[in-house]
Structure 1
C-alpha cells in the first residue's frame, strides 16, 4: 500500500502494536497476581488490585477507539489468550475466597464451642411470643 492509499495515521489513534502491548501488560499483571495467589495464601492484594485497576482504566480508554480498529485473527488470538489468563486468575481468586470462608466458619464454630459449656444448644429457645 502506498502512502497515498494508506489511511492517515493520526497521533493517538490505536494501532495493532499498541493494542498488543496493552494486552501483554494486562496479561502480565493478571499472571503475576495468579502466581501470588497460588504461592502464598496469605497475601495483601492491594498492589495487585491497583495494577489491575490501572489496566482496566487503560482498556476502557482503548475501547473507545476499538470501533475504528480492525480486529484481525492475530488480535482475536491475543484476546483469547488474555481470556484464559483471566479465567485462571478468577479460579485462583475463587479458591482463595472459598478457603477464607472455610477458615472463618471453623473459627466461628470454635468460638461458639468455647463460649458454650454444653448446657444450652446453640439455637435460641425463647418462650412463645418472643420469637
Structure 2
C-alpha cells in the first residue's frame, strides 16, 4: 500500500510542477503496484484486507481521486494547447479567402 501511495503522490505532485515528468513510466509503475495489490486482495480475501486496512484503503482512494483530477487537468491543458497550435497552423496556411469554417 505504501509503494502505491508514494507513487500516486509523486505522480500527482510531478504532473502539477514538472513539465518533463514521464507520465508513461509513472503510469506503468502505478499499474504494476495496483496489480500487486489486486493479487494480495485475492490471496488474503477482500473482507480480511478491508477489515485490517480500512483506513489505508480509504486514504488510497482519496489519493487516487486527487491523482485523477490532476491527470484530467493535465489532459485538458494538453488539448487546449493542441487546439491553439491547430488554429495557428490553419491561420498561417490561409490564403486570405474566407473558408466555410469561418462562417460556421
When the two structures are superposed, what TM-score results if normalisation uses the length of structure 1?
Answer: 0.69
Kindly report which structure 2 residues correspond to 1:117-128, keeping only aligned pairs within 5 A, or say none: 117-123=95-101
Q: Tell me the residue number matched to 1:93.
A: 71
* Alpha-carbon separation, structure 2, partners of 1:30 and 1:64: 22
Instruction: For residue 94 of structure 1, report the CA deviation from its aligned partner.
Output: 0.3
Higher RCO structure, 1 or 2 (CA under 8 Å, sep 6+): 2
Determine which structure has more spread, i.e. the larger CA radius of gyration. Answer: 1
Name stretches of at least 5 consecutive residues in structure 2 with no aligned partner: none
Cα root mean square deviation, aligned: 2.0
Name stretches of at least 5 consecutive residues in structure 1 with no aligned partner: 1-22, 124-131
* Alpha-carbon separation, structure 2, partners of 1:78 and 1:90: 18
- Deviation readout 1:51-101 (Å, 9 max, x if unpaired): 1121022012112124275232x6111111001110111011001000000
Aligned length in residues = 101
Q: Tell me the residue number matched to 2:3.
A: 25
* Alpha-carbon separation, structure 1, partners of 2:94 and 2:46: 66
Return the structure number with greater helix share. Answer: 2
